[in-house]
Amino acid sequence: MEKKQLLYEGKAKKVWSTEDENLCIVDYKDDATAFNGLKKGTIAGKGAINNRVSNFMMQVLEQEGVPTHFVEELSERETLVKKVSIVPLEVIIRNISAGSFAKNYGVEEGIVFEEPTIEFSYKNDDLGDPLINAYHARALKLATKEEIETIKAMAFKTNEVMKAFFKKLNIDLVDFKLEFGKTADGSLVLADEISPDTCRFWDSTTHEKLDKDRFRRDMGNVEGAYQEMMKRILGE
Ligand code: ADP
Ligand code: UDP
């Protein structure tokens, strides 16, 4: 399958059309941004790592019964996916306090929750992806009540599968962001990516951060952390 037309260029990926109107090709870049685009940089090798890591996780999830957009890895940085209409919600699951949760609610990072939390942000760069609840999402016609229920169930299932998967790699899955989309027949699938850009990963023993927080917080060894996660996930 060949790339035809550039449909969209985002902060981390390009999306191309193909000769099949129901499929598109995502092309992962090394560009990194944080704080709603205010901080910009590149992480050498990130595109290739995120492509492989995301595809691996999507296949793990498919095997556990979570439908995803994944079709076929085409090259180091390119993957064929089902073309979806993205539900403009960032769905965030948390198992441990960190990032904006710690900041907004005035608690330290590292509190292990008894139950995971879920929250939604309205995916809108101009507005800075504001936090919204399910009623707001329905009022804004971003999704129906049934779609929101399906998204919640798929997000919690994804968390259970990923938490268990990463525990075996001696990694605590702190929090992550998911996006969902609707295929041509209207069914919801997990889309976008699952990578150190979109998840917080802490080594269970050393509590070392192995994710994009190293870039956000100028902690150094960003490339090394992404490589370490790929090594553990792919077992190579
Ligand atoms: P952003 O838009 O936040 O800058 P990216 O650089 O990752 O993010 O761009 C990828 C874009 O492609 C995102 O807007 C995402 O919602 C969208 N996308 C992800 N998966 C699919 C898919 N299967 N079909 C269509 N669009 C997708
Ligand atoms: N996240 C993401 N994209 C976003 C916002 C958040 O992938 O636009 C991920 C982030 O990597 C983390 C989780 O969602 O794993 C929770 O992020 P948080 O709300 O704490 O925001 P941040 O601290 O990144 O501003």
Give the pLDDT of residue 161.
Answer: 98
110 plus 182 within the same structural domain:
yes
Domain ranges, residue 71: 6-82
223 CA distance to ligand 1 centroid (A)? 23
105 plus 220 within the same structural domain:
yes
205 CA distance to ligand 1 centroid (A)? 34
11 CA distance to ligand 1 centroid (A)? 9
How deeply is 35 buried, as exposed, middle or buried, from its count of CB atoms within 10 A (0-12, 13-18, 19+)?
Answer: exposed
CA–CA gap between residue 235 and residue 201 (Å, rounded)? 16
- Report which bound ligand comes closest to the CA of 188: 1
Task: Indicate whether 1 belongs to any domain.
Answer: no
Name which residue sits closest to atom 21 of ligand 1, judged by CA: 192
Tally of domains within the chain? 2
108 plus 24 within the same structural domain:
no
Residue spans of the chain under pLDDT 50: none
Which atom of ligand 2 is nearest to 211's Cα? 11
Per the rule left: phi > 0, alpha: psi between -120 and 50, beta: everything else, 220 is left
100 plus 124 within the same structural domain:
yes
120 plus 211 within the same structural domain:
yes
107 plus 70 within the same structural domain:
no
104 plus 217 within the same structural domain:
yes
Give the pLDDT of residue 195.
Answer: 98
Give the pLDDT of residue 236.
Answer: 77
109 with 97: CB under 8 angstroms? yes
90 with 176: CB under 8 angstroms? no
Which atom of ligand 1 is nearest to 33's Cα? 4
166 plus 202 within the same structural domain:
yes
Residue holding tokens 């290739």? 48
Maximum C-alpha span of the chain: 51
177 CA distance to ligand 2 centroid (A)? 6
- CATH value at residue 184: 3.30.470.20
52, 82, 112 - which closes a domain: 82
Q: How many helices (H) and strands (E) does the chain have?
A: 6, 14
104 plus 212 within the same structural domain:
yes
54 with 176: CB under 8 angstroms? no
